[in-house]
Structure 1
Amino acid sequence: MTTAELLIPALLLDAVFGEPRWLWTRLPHPAVLMGRAVELTDRSLNTGKQRRAKGVLAIVLLVLGAGWLGWVLSLFGPVMQFLVAAVLLAQRSLCEHVEAVAHGLRHDLAEGRTAVSMIVSRDTTGMTTPQIARSAIESGAENFSDGVIAPAFWFLVGGLPGLMIYKITNTADSMIGYKTPRHRNFGWAAARLDDALNLIPARLSALMIAAVGRVLPSWPEIAQDAGRHRSPNAGWPEAAMARALQVALAGPRSYDGKMQDFPWVNAVGSKSASAHSITRCVRLLWMSWALGLALTVAIAALL
């Protein structure tokens, strides 16, 4: 079977079952195991001098290990391959977490803050309703690329080894890719490799969101907004989602008690996002997922 044929049931399984609690309360989730592998390299290698070189060694070891594991798992046949792929996709869980913020906001502001704190790293204490809604929408758009389209893309390209290499890189970037004093040098290689692996998926995600959101004619403006974003990739799906929803995203926000003045994405859009905006975002995420499934079916038919 081709990787496209295997990806179809993987996408469907993830969409139907998401992250079954009964399973992951009994077994460690693969993402948890990947996190432990990253922690091990951080503890073992992130010491002394030449930390950038040691960070390069760390990501090489992680990539080789993940690729080898993906190859071994693929030897168990097509069922194993699409089951593992389904586990490493995150469409349903992403939409559930984002929709939970809308649900919380409809009850009260404090519940909305609690819900959004589960999916963003910025300060949530004192957030207003529009700030909470914008944060949830940004997280939904960015993680649609990181958690759905990028894993699917690298599975199509490289099978389970490609998918596993992407996931370990993305996990490493989320853990050691930040420019903190401890990880500024050690996490450099993980961050750069993650940027490279997300280059195509981020733009593909933006195209899909723009297509279902009927804002493809605004692609030049989407590209312009994406270029202003602090991330070379996250700005693309965020800019497309902002145009599709006609809201402004990003802008000033607080990290570790310090307000940072980030530029607005789609500055001409409404700055009064709400729970309804979040629900519309989730609807667009599912429509984009459906477009991705249709494209995968088409690729499978052509191959």
Structure 2
Amino acid sequence: MSLAFLLFLAMLLDAVMGEPKWLWTTLPHPAVLMGRAVGYCDTRFNTGTQKRQNGILVLIGLVLAAGLLGYIISLFGGIVTVIVAAILLAQKSLAQHVGNVAQGLRMSLAEGRRQVAMIVGRDTRGMDQSAVTRGAIESGAENLSDGVIAPAFWFLIGGLPGLLIYKIVNTADSMIGYRTERHEEFGWAAARFDDLLNWIPARLTAVLIALPAGVIGQMKLIRQDAKLHRSPNAGWPESAMARALNVALSGPRSYDGTLRDFPWIHANGNRSPDQTAIDAACAMLWKAWAVLLMVVFVIALF
């Protein structure tokens, strides 16, 4: 079976099964195992005066180990490959987590804040309804790229080895790829390699959002807004989602008690969206997923 056909089946399996709680309360999720591996390396090797070199060597080791593991698993055949790939895709769970924020807001602002705190890294205690809503939408757009489109893309390119390499790099970036005193040098390689691996998928995600939203003609504006984002990649799906929903995203927010004055993306959009905008964002996540599914099916046919 071709990689495209295997991916097609994996995407369908993930959409149906999602993240079954009964399984991951018994066994550790692969993402948890990857996190433990990165955490061990951080504790063990993030020392001394050669932190950048150590970080580069650690990343090479993690990439080689992930690629080898992916190759070994793929030897067990197509069914196992589909199951593992489905586990490492996150479409259904992403839509559920984002949708939970809308459900929380319908109960109370406090519950909305509690739900959005599970998917964003910014301070949530002082958020009003519109800030909670923007946070959920931004997280949904960015994680559509990181958690669905990019893994699918690298599976198409390199099968399970490609998928596992992407996931370990993305995990490393999320844990050590920060410009903090502890991680600026040690996590440098992980952050740069993650930027590289996400370059194409982030822009592909923007197209996949813009197509069903009918804003593909605004790609020039989407590109302009994407450049305003602090990330070289995350701005693309966020900018496309902002145009698709006609909401203003990004803007000022607080991290660790410090207000950060980030520029607005699609500044002329609605700056006071409510939970209905989150509902629309969840629908857009599934529409973008459906477009990708059709593309993968066509590739599988030919």
Q: For the superposition of Structure 1 and Structure 2, which TM-score range results when normalised by the shorter chain?
A: over 0.9
- Offset of 1:44 from its aligned partner? 1.2
CA distance in structure 2 between the aligned counterparts of 1:250 and 1:155, rounded to whole angstroms: 30
Aligned to 2:60: 60
Aligned to 1:181: 181
Question: What SS is found at the alignment partner of 1:126?
Answer: coil
TM value normalised by structure 2: 1.00
Aligned to 2:164: 164
Aligned to 1:49: 49
CA distance in structure 2 between the aligned counterparts of 1:243 and 1:272, rounded to whole angstroms: 15
Unaligned runs of 5+ residues in structure 2 are none
Question: What SS is found at the alignment partner of 2:227?
Answer: helix
Aligned to 1:216: 216
Aligned to 2:152: 152
- Offset of 1:18 from its aligned partner? 0.3
Aligned to 1:298: 298
CA distance in structure 1 between the aligned counterparts of 2:265 and 2:134, rounded to whole angstroms: 11
- Offset of 1:126 from its aligned partner? 1.2
- Offset of 1:217 from its aligned partner? 0.9
CA distance in structure 2 between the aligned counterparts of 1:192 and 1:20, rounded to whole angstroms: 33
Letter in structure 2 aligned against 1:88 = L
Question: Are positions 1:5 and 2:44 aligned together?
Answer: no
CA distance in structure 2 between the aligned counterparts of 1:48 and 1:144, rounded to whole angstroms: 37
TM value normalised by structure 1: 0.99
- Offset of 1:26 from its aligned partner? 0.5
Letter in structure 2 aligned against 1:71 = Y
CA distance in structure 1 between the aligned counterparts of 2:294 and 2:21, rounded to whole angstroms: 29
- Offset of 1:163 from its aligned partner? 0.1
- Offset of 1:175 from its aligned partner? 0.2
Q: 1:247-276 CA distances to partner (integer Å, 9 max, x unpaired)?
A: 000000000000000010000101011100
CA distance in structure 1 between the aligned counterparts of 2:110 and 2:44, rounded to whole angstroms: 40
Task: List aligned pairs for 1:227-246, cutoff 5 A.
Answer: 227-246=227-246
Question: What SS is found at the alignment partner of 1:143?
Answer: helix
- Offset of 1:237 from its aligned partner? 0.3
Question: Are positions 1:142 and 2:132 aligned together?
Answer: no
Question: What SS is found at the alignment partner of 1:150?
Answer: helix
User: Aligned residue pairs: how many?
Assistant: 302
Q: RMSD of the alignment, in Å?
A: 0.4
Aligned to 1:115: 115
Unaligned runs of 5+ residues in structure 1 are none
- Offset of 1:43 from its aligned partner? 1.1
Q: 1:107-164 CA distances to partner (integer Å, 9 max, x unpaired)?
A: 1100000000000000000100000000000000000000000000000000000000
- Offset of 1:233 from its aligned partner? 0.3
CA distance in structure 2 between the aligned counterparts of 1:95 and 1:5, rounded to whole angstroms: 24
Percent of residue pairs bearing the same amino acid type? 62
Q: 1:49-72 CA distances to partner (integer Å, 9 max, x unpaired)?
A: 110110000100100000000000
- Offset of 1:6 from its aligned partner? 0.3
CA distance in structure 1 between the aligned counterparts of 2:196 and 2:126, rounded to whole angstroms: 35
